[in-house]
Chains A and B, each alone.
Chain A
Amino acid sequence: MKSLEELRAIREKMQSQVSMRAEDHSHIRVVVGMATCGIASGARPVLTTLSNLVQQKNLTDKISVTQTGCIGLCQYEPIVEVMEPGKPKVTYIKMNPDKAEEVLERHLIGGHVVEEYTLNSADIK
């Protein structure tokens, strides 16, 4: 190790991984439905995309990506819920890796809900 910069480069590389191991309730929680119905309709790539992007962008100290079981709306899977402290829950439906990336960019980073993908905009009979 010849300089502090060298140390900080390693720190930055590792930080996003290590800071996942914290318990912080001010986190934005992103929850992917991973029951049989979710997995069958492609939730796993959605989950890994979200998780990888959050780590690549060094956001693990603000956003945690976890999975949950079936929330009962199997026909709309893969479902991603975004829970931000102090704000109403947003439910995204029929997700795929591309849509997930868009949600991350526009909603989680940009702060604007991507209305067209939400459950609210779906035509529920």
Chain B
Amino acid sequence: MYRSHVLVCGGTGCTSSGSQQIMEALKAEIAKNGLENEVAVVQTGCHGLCALGPIMIIYPDATFYSMVKVEDIPEIVSEHLLKGRVVTRLLYQETVTPAGVKALVDTDFYKKQHRIALRICGVINPENIEEYIGTGGYEALGKVLTEMTPDDVIQCLLDSGLRGRGGGGFPTGLKWKLAKQNDADQKYVCCNADEGDPGAFMDRSVLEGDPHAVLEAMAIAGYAIGASQGYIYVRAEYPIAVERLKIAIKQARDMELLGKNIFGSGFDFDIDLRLGAGAFVCGEETALMTSIEGNRGEPRPRPPYPALKGLFGKPTILNNVETYANIPQIILNGPEWFASMGTEKSKGTKVFALGGKIHNTGLVEIPMGTTLREVIEEIGGGIPGGKKFKAAQTGGPSGGCIPAEHFDIPIDYDNLISIGSMMGSGGLIVMDEDDCMVDIAKFFLEFTVEESCGKCTPCRVGTKRMLEILTKITKGQATMEDLDKLEELCYYIKENALCGLGQTAPNPVLSTLRYFRDEYEAHILEKRCPAGVCKALLSYHIDPEKCRGCTLCARNCPNNAITGTVRNPHTIDQDKCIKCGACMEKCKFGAIYKQ
């Protein structure tokens, strides 16, 4: 028995900033001080505040240390773990108040969050099934198998109002109901863990931090629709998640929580992993199933929907990781509990991966209906450097942007659709005045062009043409006719593409056109990039008044484009300049400007 638990984040974010080395150093230092029987070191999943990683939390006093380095370990062990003196300099700044250390749940980042899918993410050791059981894990599966009929389970989900967290927002209970109604000798339960949106990482974090919740929910789904086999389709680019899933499946099988006759109920269910090779289109449900079957990951027309003819031609349900993570809690706490959170048509919470120009990059889970302002200004801590908010991008390459005028919109499925964006899987990228909206649209189009599978013409050729026009615009070579053509193409592709990838590919362009048409026009008519991003429309200059002739810029220019003599103003040769901005970064007198 241990008197203290030291939790070290082993999520991808903290691992990349060195949490593994910290854990090793910590274990060695604890042993050196003879505390190995008193203090437990626990590797957990993501705790959310990735910007401050590597993160360490010491219980029972719940001390939150941020940006811990290996050099800090001896001090933490001898001061905190041995003598009980908090190492104040490593505390999360916001928790340090004149009245003492503030609780983590009272900080701006955590106080408006409500964690259901991330309930024990960052609290338990994901590689230990007993810790999951200790927090009520597999209790829901037990309840379902011993007390509820499949119809009860489906009714419970319908009453809860849970909608698909992958972005589409289809009612989960309805999906299950349809799959149950279709009779077949074999049915399948699939989990979509092919999280491909740039900037989104909530599914990865759930798999890394709480893999058993997904296994448990899939078994519940199997019971509800009458399936005995499940597949998790996860990206091979998520090595930690894959590893923890493998461990979790093995432990669940050893405990007979997967396999034959679970809880003595006669119900059999097993889960296997399938690794995706990294194609974005495989996140589309029909392409995902085609890929599991061993074929090239290409979508097919719907209907028939997977509930009727899915994997191997059998009735199949496919849900997203976050959707599954909610389900055991809904079963245990009841549908009314879940439906009491959120807005009229969007119940419960949603996890967002905050990224871009924001202080607290990381993972947040908020009740539906929280406003964008609360997410960005309060939870996210605002935009660094006092810059002005321009827009937030949601839904990745399928979504759109939310401009400042909709800053107070309550976030839910329907509101986001109504303003031309979408919930998407939950990436939320914040952009400030230094971001060019045409460039952003171009970035997403580049992604879609790269990831288009090529099966249907509107997507294969159409997105390529769109990208060409966008490239022309950013180079200042486009005309207003091009802009009209771009818009026309958008609507054409939206209506005619085969799958979700193609149908939503024009969204980033359409939504930036809707809210930032003036930026497009500035590029075309004035040959000017208002945010100063598009290189072809920029030029760097030296203000002769401010230049002291220190020669620093000339020495740092990679292309020898700057000339001048010591103590005399320098000049930039515009023909040679490659617009890398190195001179501007180096200048100590602020003499270099771009226009």
Contact = CB atoms under 8 A, between A and B. Distances in A.
Given A1-B255, A18-B124, A69-B85, A64 B7 contact: no
Contacts of A125: none
A34 B134 contact: no
Interface stretch (B148-156, B257-265, B530-538): B257-265
Contact of A32 (B84, B138, B143, B256): B84
Interface in B9-46: 38
Interface stretch (A20-28, A95-103, A109-117): A20-28
Given A1-B255, A21-B59, A23-B105, A11 B136 contact: yes
A15 B135 CA distance: 6
Nearest to B252: A1
A17 interface: yes
Given A1-B257, A4-B146, A14 B131 contact: yes
Contacts of A39: 82-83
B135 A2 contact: no
A106 interface: no
Interface string A45-76: 00110111001100010001111110000000
A1 B145 CA distance: 12
A3 interface: yes
Interface in B236-295: 255-257, 261-264
Contact of B2 (A2, A17, A34, A69): A17
Interface in B120-146: 123-124, 130-131, 133-136, 138-139, 142-143, 146
Contacts of A34: 82-84
Nearest to A2: B264
A46 B21 CA distance: 32
Contacts of A2: 256, 261, 263-264
B139 A21 contact: no
Nearest to A32: B84
Interface string A1-12: 111100100110
Contacts of B5: 17, 20-21
Contact of A67 (B2, B84, B104, B264): B84
A1 B83 contact: no
B83 A25 contact: no
Interface string A33-48: 1111001000010011
A56 B104 contact: no
B84 A7 contact: no
Given A2-B264, A51-B1, A14 B84 contact: no
Given A1-B255, A10-B134, A52 B1 contact: yes
A11 B132 CA distance: 9
Interface residues of B, number: 39
A107 interface: no
A23 B130 contact: no
Contacts of B136: 11
A51 B133 contact: no
B130 A14 contact: yes
Interface string B530-571: 000000000000000000000000000000000000000000
Contacts of A55: 1
Contact of A11 (B38, B85, B133, B146): B133
A13 interface: yes
Given A51-B1, A55-B1, A68 B133 contact: no
A35 B59 contact: no
B103 interface: yes
Nearest to A60: B60
A23 B1 contact: no
A66 B85 CA distance: 11
**Which of B1, B130, B138 has its CB near the most chain A CB atoms (within 10 A)?**
B1
B3 A14 contact: no
B61 interface: yes
Given A36-B83, A48-B38, A51-B1, A64 B60 contact: yes
B262 A23 contact: no
B96 interface: no
Name which of A11, A56, A60, A64 has the most chain B CB atoms within 10 A of its CB. Answer: A11
A51 B3 contact: yes
Given A48-B38, A67-B84, A69-B83, A4 B62 contact: no
A11 B139 contact: yes
Contacts of A36: 83
Nearest to A15: B134
A54 to B, nearest CB: 9
A47 B5 CA distance: 14
Contacts of A48: 3, 38
Given A20-B5, A39-B82, A60-B60, 16 more contacts: A1-B142, A4-B263, A7-B139, A11-B134, A14-B133, A18-B134, A19-B134, A22-B62, A25-B103, A47-B3, A51-B1, A51-B3, A51-B38, A66-B84, A68-B84, A69-B83
21 contacts: A1-B138, A1-B256, A14-B133, A17-B5, A18-B135, A20-B59, A21-B60, A22-B62, A23-B105, A34-B84, A35-B85, A39-B83, A48-B3, A51-B4, A55-B1, A65-B60, A66-B60, A67-B84, A68-B85, A69-B84, A69-B85
